[in-house]
Structure 1
Amino acid sequence: MTTVAPRTDVRRHELAEFLRSRRERITPEQVGLVRGPRRRTPGLRREEVAQLSAVGVTWYTWLEQARAIQVSPQVLDALARTLLLDPTERTHLFALAGATDPAPHTLCPSVTPVVRAVLDQLDPVPACVQNSRYDILAYNTTYRRLLCDLDALPPEDRNCLWLAFTDPDWRDAMTDMPAARRLMAAKFRASMAEHLAEPAWKALLARLEAASPEFREVWARHEVVGPGGRAKYLRNAQVGTLHLEQTNLWLGPAAGPRVVAYVPLDERSRERLRRLHELTLSAAAA
């Protein structure tokens, strides 16, 4: 006879696994702690999460053990901030706990004021913050109009994979679009292996499959590629062709958010990026 676990048990175990996975991806340095010479635990220790979230160590341990304990929205909010959850991960946390988020529009803690300042300082080098799902979490002035006008898009459409398969301006800017889309889909599949049960990842996949026959064809190849940068040519509608080197500056473990910068590889591209930066500033001031 097959026994089906109660739905609440499934939720508790999913919540426990999710918290553990988020804890293990955060480095001590990201939350202002000093890494000791004998640290063996990947990411943060349970007691560190408890201390930073102002909850008891035993209580948090029980939470990761999927015990039947009550969790208030205020405690979930503290855990979300400590674990640097992005908005989608935060929503997932509250859904698993069966609680209402008291601050559903909380900004992504990965994009701190310091990170935003770094993006601004990189101008006119285009740069943005992306997560492993290709969501664009923040960007500087030059990146705003590098491939399309990001400010004109709703936040849910600011995703590189979605734009590569559905946005005409983004597609026109990519000089090697078929190869680029195939590579992006392969990276997305490799990243998704750790997030197969997460609603945000499944929703993006379903949305892409419904909207793009090209994506369905590429996805059916089951190709996987690890993260990495490369040189590329981009066609900007305002300043012309740019020869750029994409580089990733990780804000944590390789599976987490990163600053993606596009460094010019020749003087002509450097001058054109300066011009693009000036044009974008002028448009914003108009």
Structure 2
Amino acid sequence: MATSDNRRELARFLRTRRERITPEQVGLPESARRRIRGLRREEVAVLAGLSPTWYTYLEQARDIRPSPEVLDSLAHVLQLTEDERQYLHQLALGHVENTFAVAPAATINSLVADLVQVAGGAPYPLYAIDYSGEVIAWNDVCRDWYTDWSKLAGIERNIVWWMLMNPEARERIVDWSDDAKDIVGRTRALSARFPHDPRVSELLTRLHAECEEFVRWWPDHDVRGQRQRSRRFRVDGQAIRSMRLVVVHPADDQHVTMAFHLPDSDDEEV
């Protein structure tokens, strides 16, 4: 919930962003008789699909509660940067529900791949996934602990699909059932964040059609977030190693997750 100070700052912020946008930038004709700088309040309101009165209340710091969708519509009209859009959400809602990549996905993926290679020199696996679970970068060690991701493509390179559907997962993950249930819970959280994303929808549709365990566990409605946790591996078919998974996100794209593996306190080599 926005405080009175935040509402006042929101009002000032909207005015300054409105004043820097020219009519030409949003497809409106320029008039020689226009005496104000930037756009009028009613112009912003109409372009954003709002009533002029309601938008005026925002600029007057009234105690009203815009939805995230309304804020994103205003951000589009005012041509806000991603940093400015998040600031708008923070002022109006007290939090940011969704973040978007600042750089193009191809650039982010290239940077993540470079980072994985530089940071992945330790004898432990390191991989990165995108928002849908697709593995987009990995170090060479992953081949011995997980799989050779370079030989997989499409949905088979998705970490959720691999964990639930690839026989290698059951062989290499010692406590496979626990890890698989955890990833199903994280997939439920994912489905709420991206309900209309085609890649997420395809993943859910195929798991419902092809994975017996997924069909059995999904109705439990367990929800899990990305948290630090332990995972035990069967390496080289016999040695059992316990790793602590720690996830981090690049600042430029919170939808990319890098999974570091650190030796657990009870790591044992059998």
| TM-score of the pair, normalised by structure 2 | 0.58
Equivalent-residue separation in structure 2 for 1:114 and 1:133 (angstroms) = 16
* Displacement after TM superposition at 1:117 (Å): 3.6
* Partner-residue secondary structure (3-state), 2:193: coil
Say which one has the larger Rg.
2
In structure 1, stretches of 5+ residues that fail to align are 1-12, 29-38, 44-79, 87-107, 273-286
Amino acid at match of 1:199: P
* Compared CA separation, residues 204 and 114, structure 1 to 2 (3 A): closer
Equivalent-residue separation in structure 2 for 1:25 and 1:216 (angstroms) = 41
Q: Is the contact between residue 252 and residue 258 of structure 1 (CA under 8 Å) also seen in structure 2? A: no
In structure 2, stretches of 5+ residues that fail to align are 1-68, 91-99
Match of 1:40 in 2: 87
> 5 Å matches for 1:99-118?
108-113=106-111, 115-118=113-116
Equivalent-residue separation in structure 2 for 1:161 and 1:118 (angstroms) = 20
Partner residue of 2:119 out of 98, 118, 121: 121
Q: Is the contact between residue 129 and residue 256 of structure 2 (CA under 8 Å) also seen in structure 1? A: yes
Q: Is the contact between residue 174 and residue 234 of structure 1 (CA under 8 Å) also seen in structure 2? A: yes
Q: Is the contact between residue 155 and residue 161 of structure 2 (CA under 8 Å) also seen in structure 1? A: no
Match of 2:174 in 1: 175
Equivalent-residue separation in structure 1 for 2:154 and 2:180 (angstroms) = 21
Equivalent-residue separation in structure 1 for 2:163 and 2:177 (angstroms) = 10
Match of 2:260 in 1: 261
Equivalent-residue separation in structure 2 for 1:24 and 1:252 (angstroms) = 18
* Displacement after TM superposition at 1:121 (Å): 3.0
Deviations 1:103-146 (A, max 9, x none): xxxxx332234652443332223111112322111111112331
Equivalent-residue separation in structure 2 for 1:195 and 1:25 (angstroms) = 22
Q: Is the contact between residue 102 and residue 252 of structure 2 (CA under 8 Å) also seen in structure 1? A: no
Amino acid at match of 2:255: G
Match of 1:226 in 2: 225
* Partner-residue secondary structure (3-state), 2:240: strand
* Compared CA separation, residues 267 and 196, structure 1 to 2 (3 A): closer
* Partner-residue secondary structure (3-state), 2:199: helix
Q: Is the contact between residue 26 and residue 252 of structure 1 (CA under 8 Å) also seen in structure 2? A: no
Q: Which moved more, 1:115-124 or 1:215-224?
A: 115-124
Q: CA RMSD in A?
A: 3.5
* Partner-residue secondary structure (3-state), 1:225: coil
* Compared CA separation, residues 151 and 114, structure 1 to 2 (3 A): closer
| TM-score of the pair, normalised by structure 1 | 0.55
Q: Is the contact between residue 127 and residue 262 of structure 1 (CA under 8 Å) also seen in structure 2? A: yes
* Compared CA separation, residues 27 and 130, structure 1 to 2 (3 A): farther
Equivalent-residue separation in structure 1 for 2:191 and 2:133 (angstroms) = 11
> 5 Å matches for 1:269-284?
none
Structure 1 position 204 matched with structure 2 position 251: no
Equivalent-residue separation in structure 2 for 1:24 and 1:256 (angstroms) = 20
Equivalent-residue separation in structure 2 for 1:164 and 1:268 (angstroms) = 22
Amino acid at match of 1:202: S
Q: Is the contact between residue 24 and residue 42 of structure 1 (CA under 8 Å) also seen in structure 2? A: no
Q: Is the contact between residue 27 and residue 252 of structure 1 (CA under 8 Å) also seen in structure 2? A: no
Equivalent-residue separation in structure 1 for 2:213 and 2:238 (angstroms) = 29
* Partner-residue secondary structure (3-state), 1:223: coil
Equivalent-residue separation in structure 1 for 2:239 and 2:80 (angstroms) = 44
Match of 2:193 in 1: 194
* Compared CA separation, residues 175 and 140, structure 1 to 2 (3 A): same
Q: Which moved more, 1:157-166 or 1:231-240?
A: 231-240
Instruction: Give me the identity figure in percent.
Output: 18
* Displacement after TM superposition at 1:204 (Å): 0.8
> 5 Å matches for 1:42-61?
42=89
* Displacement after TM superposition at 1:253 (Å): 8.1
